[in-house]
Amino acid sequence: MTESPFKLDRRTKIVATLGPSSSDEASIRSLLDAGVSVFRLNFSHGTHEEQKARLDCIRKLEKEVGRPVGILADLQGPKLRIGTFSEDNVHLDVGQTFTLYLDEHRGDSTGVKLPHPEVFAAQKVGEELLVDDGKIRLRITELTSNKMVTEVMVGGIISERKGVNVPGVSLPISPLTKKDRIDLKYALEIGVEWVALSFVQRVEDLIEARELIGGKAGLLAKLEKPSVLDDLENIVKHSDAIMVARGDLGVELPPERVPSIQKRIVQVARSQGKPVIVATQMLESMIHHPIPTRAEASDVATAIYDGVDAVMLSAETAAGSYPEEAVSVMGRIISETESDKNYRQMLQIYPLIGEISDADAIAIAASQIAKDRECVAVVTFTSTGSTALRAARNRGVVPILGLTPSDHVARKLSLVWGVYSIQTKDVASFSEMVGKSVRMAMRKGIAKSGDRIVVTAGVPFGTPGSTNTIRLTKVSENYEKEE
């Protein structure tokens, strides 16, 4: 049997962020070998030239490792920040008055500039503002069009240009800043597979971004604001994938609410067949230490038990001291969790909702046949990725081999649970489809002579979303000799 380039003992994928700790060729190769399926380019940091160099390196190494690798461009989004101080920092005491000014104001212990008129327009007396990821908490006591007087509820050290969160308020701003539009145009030019939209608040944000993307990449919505929960089903519907950005959610929500909200988002995404990533602070202690805490390992396992498509590493691989170790640990947690006998049962907790199409029925049948007949794989032929996504939605017991003539689609599918994608020549007939399925399964070490596989596709071939054919076939060496 040929050695597989895929980590076949894992269905859940790993997304890793590149940065100062992991941008040279040797580091990226070590992360690939450890099991990364998708690399995140964080456009909040670094120049376009640095991002292009990382992408070029990934594309080079992709050929060496023999499997498609996805690239996710993460746009910064609008950042609300306070202005500057006359000193390095000031200390705020609980109960004191601290004023935020829309107009120019050199910061001191009495107040600082907040150059965001949309915040002033959306706020009311009695509401709270969070500064520096919630380390400082302010409650509004007086409000005019250009001045916000607050009482310090949680004090401490505050320094210039710290971020501001506005919990419970949907701000009338686009998630696409001027910088984001420039970054998006560049990311599409260099050829990324996924674009992550930060600070999504409403469906209209996604519609605007989709028009700009123009089908050149998948649209991934980062859910960072609790307000998205009010229209969660529609936001998932208008996205191609979802990211649960727990770090920002946890700033605006009490920490005890984050686990249940994470589960709800994952459930909605899975029920609609949209890939879902759980991100931020997964193995955060590994930024500075070679092993995670037991609590972090349990946290990652919880997301895997929920059936997420991928788990993501941020600073752990971008700026940490142990990027390769972080990926290796993540991979071991995935393998151990997925080998638990309870894992399969927990995957079936979330039923499919809504109307089941003919294509969905074919995918469900393929998964059941693979289980009943002890097949080694489900093989899908897909031009857009929709057939493979349907197969993955069922969370079946065997790997899904996604064959596609498009290298772009193959790379996009590297984010999807249980899918091992291959870019290959298109087929023109049913018999050619079966033969190619067998050959690819054998060459990638997924099947050997005597095994069974299930093949699904849409006929006529090349018609997006037309999955209507299923075939159970036995693997034979004769198929390999045909080509």
- What amino acid positions are annotated as catalytic residues? 40, 81, 222, 280
Copy the structure tokens of residue 159.
């320094």
Q: Contact 129/151 with Cβ under 8 angstroms?
A: no
How far apart CA 202 and CA 429 sit, in angstroms, is 44
How far apart CA 68 and CA 409 sit, in angstroms, is 9
CA distances 49 to 29, 180, 304, Å, are 20, 16, 35
How far apart CA 241 and CA 141 sit, in angstroms, is 40
